[in-house]
């Protein structure tokens, strides 16, 4: 992998990742941009015990631009975008409208391909592996920034999820605090260790493997299953078979194996609802351990993949019990979801 670091016209960092060692990325951003002004504020909710980010400047962010004005496409034909190169493989840059910035963290955009009309599922295994390398490199570098406690790599796809840019991309958030979901998982893991003497993540994977009915796909180094208590109609958790706390700790064999199994899962997602349905909207979220704390080795890195579509032409909107009380109700039994995801395997 070749990594090329440069800056955009307003001083934000832009990083190219290339599989080829001879790639040249010397394009210059000539846009007359003003420096980014972020007004992020982190407020603590004493009642719930978590943090809320207030970021009013994001109200003016780019919203559903036409394809010929996409800020994530390469710069070409006199049109300048966020990426001054005429082509690229994987590019990462600081978000122009960040929720987190400065001492409050950092937000980055990850562009998986220069092809505006592609999706992650369309990538080659080699390109998917390069994206994994970029996620890992960013996790490692952001971990060294003062004040960063946790790095979250994720992709939102589809207007139904709230995506405002159609170009295939994801994001990386460097949080100055441990996110609530992670803190809860760590507490449950600690209680499980105290009660049983075993690791919670190991036991969950072992349970799913032994039961088998919810396992969707398994290779030598990864296992994908619909969790026993899935919150979403179609939800998959992808775990490395050797537990590690974050992306940096994956060994070479797991990294090599990842691309094939993840691409297969994404392609199955697009087949769930039949050939007449548009591409399945989804969120793909990497759960990584916080960088501090003696309990980080108890955490198990995993990727959570889920969709808000529950049936052809129908979305799962959060009900009052779910939005108001956090008590989820799932209309699709996890065993039925797993069976459907096995049925739509690539032939």
Long-range contacts of 59-66 (CB under 8 A, 24+ apart): 60/97, 61/96, 61/97, 61/164, 62/97, 62/164, 62/165, 63/164, 64/164, 64/165, 64/166, 65/165
Structure-token match 């009013």, residue found:
56
Of residues 57, 64, 116, 169, which has the active-site annotation?
Answer: 169
DSSP SS3 for 148: coil
DSSP SS3 for 84: coil
Q: Are strands 282-287 and 150-157 parallel, antiparallel or unpaired?
A: antiparallel
How far apart are alpha carbons 178 and 148 in whole angstroms? Answer: 9
Asked if 169 is an active-site residue, the reply is yes
How far apart are alpha carbons 321 and 116 in whole angstroms? Answer: 38
Residue 154 exposed, middle or buried by CB count within 10 Å (0-12, 13-18, 19+): middle
- Say which residues have a Cβ less than 8 Å from residue 41's Cβ, sequence separation at least 6: 53, 54, 55, 104
In the DSSP assignment, the letter for residue 1 is: -
Helix (H) or strand (E) holding 217: strand 215-218
How far apart are alpha carbons 62 and 96 in whole angstroms? Answer: 10
Q: How many CA atoms lie within 13 A of 228 on its CB side?
A: 10
Helix (H) or strand (E) holding 44: strand 41-45
Write phi, then psi, for 169 (nearest 5 degrees): -160, 165
Catalytic residue ranges: 169
């Amino acid at each position: 992998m070749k990594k090329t670091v440069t800056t955009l016209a307003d001083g934000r960092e832009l990083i190219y990742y290339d599989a080829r060692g001879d790639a040249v990325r010397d394009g210059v951003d000539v846009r007359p941009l003003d420096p980014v002004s972020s007004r992020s504020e982190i407020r603590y909710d004493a009642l719930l015990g978590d943090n809320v980010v207030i970021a009013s400047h994001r109200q003016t962010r780019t919203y559903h631009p036409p394809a010929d004005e996409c800020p994530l496409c390469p710069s070409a034909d006199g049109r300048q975008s966020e990426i001054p190169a005429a082509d690229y493989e994987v590019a990462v840059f600081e978000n122009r409208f960040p929720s987190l910035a400065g001492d409050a963290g950092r937000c980055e955009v990850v562009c998986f391909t220069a092809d505006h009309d592609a999706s992650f599922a369309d990538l080659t295994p080699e390109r998917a592996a390069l994206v994994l390398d970029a996620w890992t490199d960013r996790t490692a570098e952001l971990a060294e920034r003062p004040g960063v406690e946790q790095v979250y790599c994720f992709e939102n796809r589809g207007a139904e999820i709230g995506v405002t840019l159609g170009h295939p991309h994801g994001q990386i958030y460097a949080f100055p605090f441990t996110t609530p979901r992670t803190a809860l998982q760590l507490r449950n893991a600690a209680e499980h260790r105290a009660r049983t003497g075993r690791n919670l993540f190991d036991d969950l994977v072992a349970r799913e493997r032994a039961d088998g009915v919810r396992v969707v796909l398994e290779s030598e180094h990864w296992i994908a299953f619909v969790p026993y208590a899935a919150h979403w109609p179609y939800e998959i958790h992808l775990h490395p078979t050797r537990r590690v706390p974050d992306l940096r700790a994956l060994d070479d064999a797991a990294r090599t194996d990842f691309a094939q199994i993840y691409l297969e899962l994404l392609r199955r997602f697009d087949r769930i609802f039949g050939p007449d349905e548009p591409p399945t909207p989804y969120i793909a979220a990497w759960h990584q351990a916080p960088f501090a704390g003696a309990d980080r080795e108890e955490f198990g890195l995993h990727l959570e993949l889920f969709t808000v579509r529950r049936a052809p032409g129908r979305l799962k909107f959060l009900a009052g019990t779910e939005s108001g009380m956090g008590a989820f109700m799932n209309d699709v039994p996890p065993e039925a979801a797993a069976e459907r995801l096995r049925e739509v395997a690539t032939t």
